[in-house]
C-alpha cells in the first residue's frame, strides 16, 4: 500500500513540475525587461489636455485608470487591472523617497483607501487624468491637495533611459568565440 502512495506522489510531483516548467511566459506583462523613460514621456505627453470622462479609456476622454492603462498598453504592458484600487494590488511597493519614472502613484480622493492613480514622471511630478482639468502633470507634493491624499506607489515595470538600455544590450565587450580544446 505504501509503495502505491510513493509512486502516486512521485508521479503527481513530476507532473506539477512539468506544468510549472513548461508554462508559457506572458511577454506582455511586466518583467525584468526595461522600458524607455523617453518613450514613457512621449506617450504621457501626447494625451495632455484630453478631457476627463468617468469610465473613459480612449483619447476621447479618460478617467485616471483608463489613462494609466492606455499609456502602459502603448508601452507593451497589458497586464494592468482596470481600476485604481485593483492596480494598487499589483506590482512591488515603492517608498515615496524611492520613486522612479514609470511608478504608479496612488491617492485617496474620495474617502476610500485608493480612488485615484497616476504615473510618476520624475522631478516630483506625476501625469494623471484630473476630474476637473483632464490629463495634466501635477506636483506630487502639492501642499494644497495631492500631498495630503497620497497613499503609496507601486512599480509595475523598470524604466531606464535609452542610453542605459543600449548599454545593457551592448555585448561588444563580451567574447562569444567558442572555446577550443588545447589538450
Residues involved in catalysis: 64, 116, 128
Region of 102 on the Ramachandran plot (φ > 0 left; ψ -120 to 50 alpha; else beta): left
Rounded distance, CA 84 to CA 107, Å?
A: 9
CA distances to 40, 68, 72, 111, 139 from 115, rounded to whole Å, are 23, 13, 19, 8, 18
Strands 61-62 and 92-94: unpaired
From 41, 49, 26, select the one nearest 75 (Cα to Cα).
41
Find residue 32's DSSP bridge partners: none
Burial class of residue 143 (count of CB atoms within 10 Å of its CB; 0-12, 13-18, 19+)? exposed
Amino acid at each position: 500500500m505504501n509503495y502505491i502512495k510513493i509512486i502516486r506522489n512521485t508521479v503527481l510531483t513530476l507532473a506539477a513540475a512539468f506544468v510549472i516548467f513548461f508554462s508559457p511566459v506572458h511577454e506582455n506583462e511586466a518583467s525584468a525587461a526595461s522600458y524607455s523613460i523617453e518613450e514613457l514621456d512621449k506617450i504621457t505627453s501626447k494625451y495632455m489636455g484630453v478631457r476627463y470622462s468617468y469610465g473613459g479609456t480612449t483619447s476621447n476622454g479618460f478617467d485616471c485608470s483608463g489613462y494609466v492603462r492606455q499609456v502602459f498598453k502603448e508601452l507593451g504592458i497589458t497586464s494592468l487591472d482596470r481600476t485604481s484600487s485593483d492596480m494598487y494590488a499589483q506590482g512591488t511597493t515603492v517608498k515615496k523617497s524611492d520613486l522612479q519614472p514609470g511608478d504608479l502613484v496612488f491617492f485617496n480622493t474620495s474617502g476610500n483607501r485608493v480612488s485615484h492613480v497616476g504615473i510618476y514622471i520624475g522631478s516630483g511630478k506625476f501625469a494623471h487624468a484630473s476630474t476637473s482639468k483632464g490629463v495634466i502633470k501635477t506636483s506630487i507634493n502639492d501642499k494644497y491637495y495631492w500631498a495630503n491624499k497620497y497613499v503609496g506607489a507601486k512599480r509595475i515595470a523598470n524604466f531606464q533611459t535609452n542610453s542605459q538600455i543600449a548599454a545593457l544590450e551592448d555585448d561588444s565587450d563580451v567574447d562569444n568565440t567558442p572555446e577550443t580544446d588545447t589538450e
